[in-house]
Amino acid sequence: MEEEKMRMKERRIVVSVEESEESMHALSWCLGNLLPENTKCASRILLYVKPPLPVYSSLDATEYLFGGDAIASMEKYGRDLASSVMRRAEAVYRDVNTNVSIKVEKNVGTGDAKDVISTAVDTLGADILVMGSHDYGFFKRALLGSVSNHCAKHVKCPHKIVKQPKHVQH
């Protein structure tokens, strides 16, 4: 009986999406691999994190350096980018044929991606976090940091970091 309840329970899978092909590959992988036949319903939560606008110590300095039009333009660019990423993610959903009912929630956060993702996973009650990997080498990872590495160490739910296959060139 308990097993039946678990199969009927809606699985909450958070998929971190962003502009990269690696991110969309991870979403596609998730759709193809995390929906067992006996699962009645799954909830996919798409999470996109916008970088914050620059913060200055004085609002007067911000207005002086960036007029109201410039700040509004930066905010609009962030909203447009988030919408673009979500449209790409929806296209991935349409391309994957599945018999399972999938409910999709879209969430957009603002801030440092590793912190926003880690917090959102807890807040959203995720059963698993799926994210892509840029597969940076040692030096790039040391300089830029790795969001997926940070999340793998800090999230409290199971996680899957999906690497995009390398294309063989002849």
User: Does residue 88 lie within any of the structural domains?
Assistant: yes
88-117 residue pLDDT tens: 988 887 777 555 567 788 899 888 888 999
75-84 residue pLDDT tens: 888 889 899 9
| 159-163 and 101-110 strand pairing | unpaired
| Residue of 127, 118, 125, 96 whose CA lies nearest to 31 | 96
133-154 residue pLDDT tens: 877 666 555 555 678 888 888 8
Residue 87: which domain range?
2-163
| Residue of 48, 19, 34 whose CA lies nearest to 106 | 48
Amino acid identity of residue 64, one-letter, is: Y
User: Does residue 170 lie within any of the structural domains?
Assistant: no
* CATH code (residue 44): 3.40.50.620
| 128-133 and 41-50 strand pairing | unpaired
Count of structural domains, the chain: 1
User: 97 to each of 1, 29, 49, 138, 142, how far by Cα in Å?
Assistant: 30, 13, 27, 37, 39
User: Does residue 169 lie within any of the structural domains?
Assistant: no
User: Does residue 121 lie within any of the structural domains?
Assistant: yes
| Percent of the chain with pLDDT strictly greater than 70 | 69
Range list of β-strands (E), the chain: 11-16, 41-50, 101-110, 128-133, 159-163
The DSSP code for 22 is H
